[in-house]
Amino acid sequence: MSAAHQPLPKKNGHGGGYEKQDVGFRFAMLFVSALIAAVIVVLIFLVWFYRVIAPARQPSTQTAAQQRPLPPAPVLQVNPAVDMQKFRQREEQKASSYGWVDEKGGIAHVPVQRAMEIVAERGLPQWQPPKATQEKRQ
């Protein structure tokens, strides 16, 4: 390490790195006054705007159910909730009973619980993978 003293770099021309004087009192008061005046002007405008617009808006006397338009005619489902209940009953009856899907093809449906018992006893069927075909490349 050299024993020679290295001079400090010269300061830039902006001073000692801090504000040498405070913000002027007059400037601060003008800024605060302008801010208060702007808030008052905005409040006056909003009150005027509300008084002009509010009488034009009349609250609706209809309930939300009355305002909702009906679907276009013909309405095919008179009571969708009852229709859904009947559909679920039919599906539950089908899922818990025996019957034919395709009698000629020998395809039947069995209750879900019985189908799970059969799979637990016999296991899943084993299918042969498809045979690979060799294509002639030309």
DSSP string, 109-120: E--HHHHHHHHH
CA dist., res. 40 & res. 115, Å (int): 78
Task: Output the pLDDT for position 34.
Answer: 98
Full residue range of the structural domain in which residue 38 is found: 25-56
Spatial CA neighbour of 109 closest among 130, 91, 88, 82 = 91
In a domain, 43, yes or no: yes
Q: Which residues of the chain have pLDDT under 70?
A: 1-3, 8-20, 56, 58-59, 65, 75, 134-138
Q: Name the CA dihedral angle for 57, 61, 64, 70, rounded to a multiple of 10 degrees.
A: -100
In a domain, 100, yes or no: yes
In a domain, 84, yes or no: yes
Question: How confident is the model over 54-85, as pLDDT tens digits?
Answer: 776 766 777 776 777 777 777 688 888 999 99
From the DSSP assignment, how many helices (H) and strands (E) are in the chain? 4, 2
pTM for the whole thing?
0.34
CA dist., res. 109 & res. 115, Å (int): 9
Last residue of a domain, one of 11, 41, 56: 56
In a domain, 64, yes or no: no
Measured distance between the N- and C-terminal CA atoms of the chain, rounded to whole angstroms: 81
In a domain, 18, yes or no: no
Task: Output the pLDDT for position 36.
Answer: 98
Burial of 138 (0-12, 13-18, 19+ CB in 10 A): exposed
In a domain, 68, yes or no: no
In a domain, 114, yes or no: yes
Q: How many domains does the chain have?
A: 2
In a domain, 73, yes or no: no
